[in-house]
Chain A
Amino acid sequence: MSESSLRLVWVYPDLLSTYGDQGNALVVERRAVQRRVPVTRVDVRSDHAVPTSGDIYLIGGGEDRPQRLAAERLRRDGGLNRAVANGAIVFSVCAGYQILGHEFINDLGRPEPGLGLLDVVSTRGEGDRCVGDVLADIDPQLGLPPLTGFENHQGITHLGPTTRPLARLRVGRGNGTGDGTEGAFNDTVFGTYMHGPVMARNPHIADLLIKLALDVNALPPVDDQWYDALRAERIAAAVQPA
């Protein structure tokens, strides 16, 4: 953590920002500023080097070809791996989640190496896309209320022994493996298939990242009335689809 402000890095918005992914950056930024923590947000396009001095890195969802291009450029760049080695926090969504793993299937149907920051391997499902509202219980170790989100993907992500599922599904397909898991995490690196965007539906995850970055156990409360109302509505919708 740098002394002056929270450094928030949004990785490759030119390639991985198809599903309102900017929302995650906006929510983290907003909730830090509401706690009087100044934020420096850096949006890194894929023709620029990923800075290694960030506190929180966000990486979002995208189409198949941009996903391959992003993986190629991130491997070549090496900045994100160096940042994680320095203890940085990474939160990834959908295509970004797959990139953080060891391998995924690219747009050409071939295995594409990821960054190996999460012990997961992704393949592509044969059936219909997973589309719809999801409800899941987040790993109790993280002490967070239930996860709500919108999934929209065809991926299947298998977790290796050194990573834990981010959540256990009540409704939805999540990792698509049929074992009831959704997402993965390992120390400071997180992955999920949830859109919505996920931070708008789960502001406590944004708070968790801020706490990890600041190395504090608690943050001053903020007015969560609209987040709470949205969560209640979407959780009800997941349990009982219209």
Chain B
Amino acid sequence: MAANSEPLSPRAKLAVTAGRAAAAVSRAAGKGSGSVIGGKVALRFDPDLLARLARHLDVVLVSATNGKTTTTRLLAEALRAGGPVVSNALGANMPAGITSALAGGSDARFGVIEVDEKYLAGVARDVAPKAIALLNLSRDQLDRAAETRMLAEKWREGLAGSEAIIIANADDPLITWAASSSPTVVWVAAGQSWKDDAWSCPSCGGVLQRPDDDWYCGECGFRRPTPTWALSGDHVVDPYGVAWPIHLQLPGRANKSNAAMSAAVAAAFGIDPKVALERMFKVQAVAGRYDVVSFLQRDLRLLLAKNPAGWLETFSLIDGPPTPVILSVNARGADGTDTSWLWDVDYTRLAGHPIMVIGDRKLDLAVRLEVAGLQFRVCANLDEAVRAAPPGRIEAIANYTAFQDLRRRVGN
């Protein structure tokens, strides 16, 4: 679809203007970017605004438990090879934030939109995307009752019969279940380190067999689809069997996986994998994540890990011992108020690192680490934790609001 083939209606224009005004007021009042309030005001003027704004764009939606913000950034960078992109790059991923982001990109050709898991089906209905990328599903925010399996089921119902090309991670059984009701699926072997949310078959409830990287249900035959794209070490293998090197500034296996998914999506938009992957190298830190900041004469690397799957991936990318590690955990509304998930994280992986513990729930972490048999030090705040480490690199791993606290303290 060509950009701006039909102009916005007067009502939609008014809605966009009202939203911008509200966002400006919010910014002036020092209350963040104002994108969410702007979107809310605009949607009140015109409830169909999201659909109207998207009509002018080739849209791809990105959803997952982990990696959606980063993948959205990588993908936006890749698609810029084909034309201007509008994206909710700051992670405001519910309908109001998405509306606000799209309203700011009237010249764009592509819309690259991160969507909160719970809103995916609704947003997909509203914006009629050309493609939807589904990366992974795992436990997150347990007190919200949006249990992982139910979410996969809702996606499956919501995406059944969708005209979008679904680009889905074949290594995640829940993602496979969610995607396999759709007519057009591109399967990507994007890997999955965390397996503990998919031991029972999403189709029949049988026990999944998971030898090596494969998986299948011995009872009903539901099994891993044959992928056409694959992440293979430091390369993405395309459907023709050509291996393209991945060069990222972002660390870790999970980001290679995000890049592989992004390359497959970009191909669906006509962007060559080589071009797409080269452009992804530009992406540095994403909303502060992976940023290295200088603080109290140390180099602090800021790492966000919100749930067990995220912590597992993070442990695999940090520098080895004796690099000190600061762990910070909160349990405020946006984090989920139940800290039980700490016990699904294998903290024994941190053996040998000096460990400092901070955050609202540092005592939950202390008991967790004590039971893991690790040495650690509980500190009052970030400054004390940083001073406990010698000059040099420190890995700081924090969950959602704890991460924002870290950024604020170090002035990031």
> Contact check: which of B199, B205, B340, B363 meets A226 at CB < 8 Å?
B363
Q: Are A63 and B363 touching (Cβ within 8 A)?
A: no
> Contact check: which of B340, B371, B373 meets A19 at CB < 8 Å?
B340
A82 interface contact, C-beta 8 A: no
Q: How many A-B residue pairs have CB under 8 A?
A: 92
List chain A residues, Cβ under 8 A from B139.
Answer: 18
A150 interface contact, C-beta 8 A: yes
A17 CA to B205 CA, complexed, in Å? 15
The residue in chain B whose Cβ has the minimal distance to the Cβ of A150 is: B338
Q: Are A19 and B196 touching (Cβ within 8 A)?
A: no
List chain A residues, Cβ under 8 A from B366.
Answer: 226, 229-230
The residue in chain A whose Cβ has the minimal distance to the Cβ of B342 is: A20
Given contacts A226-B363, A226-B366, contact A47 B207 (CB under 8 A): yes
B:296-347 near A, CB below 8 Å = 337-344
> Contact check: which of A20, A22, A63, A226 meets B149 at CB < 8 Å?
A63
Q: Are A131 and B340 touching (Cβ within 8 A)?
A: no
The residue in chain A whose Cβ has the minimal distance to the Cβ of B370 is: A226
B380 interface contact, C-beta 8 A: no
A218 CA to B274 CA, complexed, in Å? 67
List chain A residues, Cβ under 8 A from B383.
Answer: none
Q: Are B343 and A23 touching (Cβ within 8 A)?
A: yes
Interface string of B336-362 (1 = CB under 8 A from A): 011111111000000000000000000
Which of B49-57, B140-148, B177-185, B396-404 contacts its partner? B140-148
Q: Are A63 and B343 touching (Cβ within 8 A)?
A: no
Interface string of A57-94 (1 = CB under 8 A from B): 00000010110010000000000000000000000000
List chain A residues, Cβ under 8 A from B344.
Answer: 17, 20, 22
List chain B residues, Cβ under 8 A from A51.
Answer: none
List chain A residues, Cβ under 8 A from B368.
Answer: 23, 200
Interface string of B147-171 (1 = CB under 8 A from A): 1111000000000000000000000
The residue in chain A whose Cβ has the minimal distance to the Cβ of B197 is: A18
Give, as a whole number of angstroms, the nearest-CB distance from A106 to chain B: 12
A186 CA to B337 CA, complexed, in Å? 31
> Contact check: which of A26, A65, A195, A197 meets B205 at CB < 8 Å?
A65
List chain A residues, Cβ under 8 A from B341.
Answer: 19-20
The residue in chain A whose Cβ has the minimal distance to the Cβ of B150 is: A63
A179 interface contact, C-beta 8 A: no
Q: Are B338 and A195 touching (Cβ within 8 A)?
A: yes
The size class of the interface chain A forms with chain B is 20 to 34
**In the complex, which of the residues B139, B343, B372 has the most CB atoms of chain A within 10 Å of its own CB atom?**
B343
List chain A residues, Cβ under 8 A from B148.
Answer: 63
Q: Are B363 and A233 touching (Cβ within 8 A)?
A: yes
Given contacts A14-B199, A152-B143, contact A230 B363 (CB under 8 A): yes
Chain A contact residues: helix, strand, loop or mixed: mixed
B367 interface contact, C-beta 8 A: yes
Q: Are B337 and A131 touching (Cβ within 8 A)?
A: yes
> Considering only CB atoms and an 8 Å cut-off, how many residues of chain B contact the other chain?
32
Q: Are A27 and B371 touching (Cβ within 8 A)?
A: yes
A132 interface contact, C-beta 8 A: yes
Give, as a whole number of angstroms, the nearest-CB distance from A7 to chain B: 20
> Contact check: which of B150, B199, B338, B343 meets A22 at CB < 8 Å?
B343
A:31-55 near B, CB below 8 Å = 45-47
List chain A residues, Cβ under 8 A from B371.
Answer: 23, 26-27, 30, 200
Q: Are A132 and B337 touching (Cβ within 8 A)?
A: yes
B200 interface contact, C-beta 8 A: yes
A63 CA to B343 CA, complexed, in Å? 18
List chain B residues, Cβ under 8 A from A200.
Answer: 343, 364, 367-368, 371
Q: Are A19 and B338 touching (Cβ within 8 A)?
A: yes
Q: Are B373 and A69 touching (Cβ within 8 A)?
A: no
Give, as a whole number of angstroms, the nearest-CB distance from A125 to chain B: 13
Give, as a whole number of angstroms, the nearest-CB distance from B102 to chain A: 34
Given contacts A152-B338, A197-B340, contact A30 B373 (CB under 8 A): yes
Give, as a whole number of angstroms, the nearest-CB distance from A227 to chain B: 6
Interface string of A208-230 (1 = CB under 8 A from B): 00000000000000000011011
Give, as a whole number of angstroms, the nearest-CB distance from B374 to chain A: 12
List chain A residues, Cβ under 8 A from B373.
Answer: 30
A129 CA to B364 CA, complexed, in Å? 23
A19 CA to B139 CA, complexed, in Å? 9
Q: Are B143 and A15 touching (Cβ within 8 A)?
A: no
Residues of B within 8 A of A (CB): 139, 142-143, 145, 147-150, 196, 199-200, 205-207, 337-344, 363-364, 366-368, 370-373, 378
In the A-B complex, the 9 residue pairs with the smallest Cβ-Cβ separation, listed nearest first, are A23-B343, A20-B340, A14-B199, A20-B343, A47-B207, A230-B363, A226-B366, A19-B340, A63-B147
Q: List 29 A-B contacts (CB under 8 A).
A: A13-B196, A15-B199, A18-B142, A19-B341, A20-B341, A20-B342, A21-B343, A23-B342, A23-B343, A23-B371, A30-B371, A47-B206, A65-B205, A66-B149, A66-B205, A69-B200, A69-B205, A131-B143, A150-B339, A150-B340, A152-B145, A200-B364, A200-B367, A226-B370, A226-B378, A229-B363, A229-B366, A230-B363, A233-B363
Residues of A within 8 A of B (CB): 13-15, 17-23, 26-27, 30, 45-47, 63, 65-66, 69, 129, 131-132, 150, 152, 195-197, 200, 226-227, 229-230, 233
